[in-house]
Structure 1
Amino acid sequence: MKFSKELKVALLGIVALVALYVGFMFLKGTNILSSNKTYYVVYDSVEGLAVSNPVLVNGYRVGLVKEMKLDQKKGNKILVTLDIEQDIAVGDSTIAMLVSSDLLGSKAIDLYIGRNKHVYKGGEYLIPYVKQSITDMLSARAMPVLGTVDSTLQRLNMFLDKDAKRSIQSILLNAEATSATLKAITLANQGNINEITSNLARLTSALRGTESKFNQLANNLNTITDTLDVESMNRAIRGLDSTITQAQLAMQRINQNNGSLGKLMNDDSLYSNLNASSASLNELLIDLKANPKRYVHFSLIGGGTKVKEAKTVKEAVKVKKADTVEKAGTVDQ
């Protein structure tokens, strides 16, 4: 059977078109020869997701994103069509998580297949979920910080006006001049600095010698401490304790009026008696100066003059009493 050239060209063109379509679909990731199932997911935002992006289960590719469409009737949500292999058990508990596939922001859909009570046959809607990526978290954290930094820079630019810049420049120039002055002073006093360094070195050497003497003194003190008789010191301390105890007992007895010394210190009768005797003696002396005849008697009978003097205080008192009685009798006569 012979074909005409036109028929051969037509058949070749059809084969070429079919091959081109199959190749194009293959490059998109769609296998037209496989019998996959189609499912739908609705997301609020699909930033980074594109057609032909993979559908994964635990990191293994089981399908691809077949189509995305903006649904204006449902608040501009995105309807995503998934082409999944038919042997994957997709059911009512399957969650389609929108996750990041790399650090550049590309997205993929990761299926979480739980315990399905009902297995889908195709054409059903899956449960949507958007997993926040590391890039999203960093962006969420970095945006407030960037805003703060921007406002800080603006305030710094406002602060650093022309006058402030001139002041900063003058401060830097003064600091440079001060540094040059310090350098000149250091060069001019290099000899003094060397002498001070030498003196410090000698002082350090002297301190080291003093340290050795202190160490020797500490060793001597340790030796003296070791040679002390601890038992003798303990006996002396015990003797001192007993002496203090006896002194305390003696003071306690004196305070309790036990014995002559206690009565003398605590009883004021002796003081009263001494005070009364002193008063009587004072009166006697005053009376003796005023009336000496009361205590000295002259007698013309018996061939001479006899003078009787009081030798003691008691005799003087008796003489005074007798003279008083004698005067009283004379008055009565």
Structure 2
Amino acid sequence: MKISNETKVGVLSIVALTILILGFNFLKGKDLFTKTRKIYAVFSDLGPLSKSNEVKINGYVIGTVYDLQARDKDISGIIATINLTKDVNIPADSKAYISSPLVGASFIAIEKGDSTALLKVGDTLQTRLDAGILDDVKAQLNPTLNKIRQVLDTLTLTLTGVNGVLTVEAKINLHQIFNNLNSATSSLASIVNPQTGALGKTLNNTEAITDNLKKNNEAITATIGNAKKASEKLAALDIQPTIDSLKQMVVTLKSFMSKLDNPNGTLGALVNDKTIYNKLKDAILGAEILIDDLKAHPKRYVNFSIFGKKDKGGYLNSPLAKDSLPSKE
């Protein structure tokens, strides 16, 4: 049997509409295929609670918020219809409250009571207000905020009193003090600046020196090793004979100097007596003249004649210049 296109379109439309209805109800927290039980709770303020939000006992999801309706025209309360999807026993004295966590959606939390009687379908839960995390924080901060306000009020009064007591000159001085503090703070900031500050440059120089030492570590180690070897060789040398020789030389030098200072000795007389010095100088000069004359007139001293010759004179009275002596033929 051939199915027409119109029939196919109709069937598909019905299926799509059914899926749409089921999906819409599922998103609203309604399950058309599951038998549900409904109970109620009346709240004075819903906060961020909305339909389809979860209902939990000890963190376990037992249902969803099915509907929210005002109790009267004055909205003296809002009736929340709770659709229980789990078969659980809820004591009759249990209380419901709206929990609003910092992260996530709000939900209705049921705090179980101790009663042996259980809630029945259509019963209404007792409710209470829950402060929430933000309200708890606010409640804890309120005393601190009040103290801060009191301190600020006291500080304002104090500054007002000080402003009334201080003279114009005192105010100027106080202003200068604050300016000096500001300048000192700026100077300190410039000093500790890692790029341009003196402290930063010093640290950079220290780091550069450390890097150089690290790079030259092998050379420094070798130098220290050489110095150590030289010290060991010097320690191994027997320098006592050298020291003894130096001591003997010092003794001899002292003896020579004592003789030189003694006017009764030959050296002392030569050094200290000017007459002996002059005579010795004249003797040396005469010897030098005699030697020069012998070189200039050798025949005068070695030429002999039987009949004799008259001495023509021409004796030297002073030494000849070194370049005036006759050359040998």
Q: Same fold (TM over 0.5)?
A: no
Instruction: Name the TM tier (shorter chain).
Output: 0.3 to 0.5
TM-score, length-normalised on structure 1? 0.43
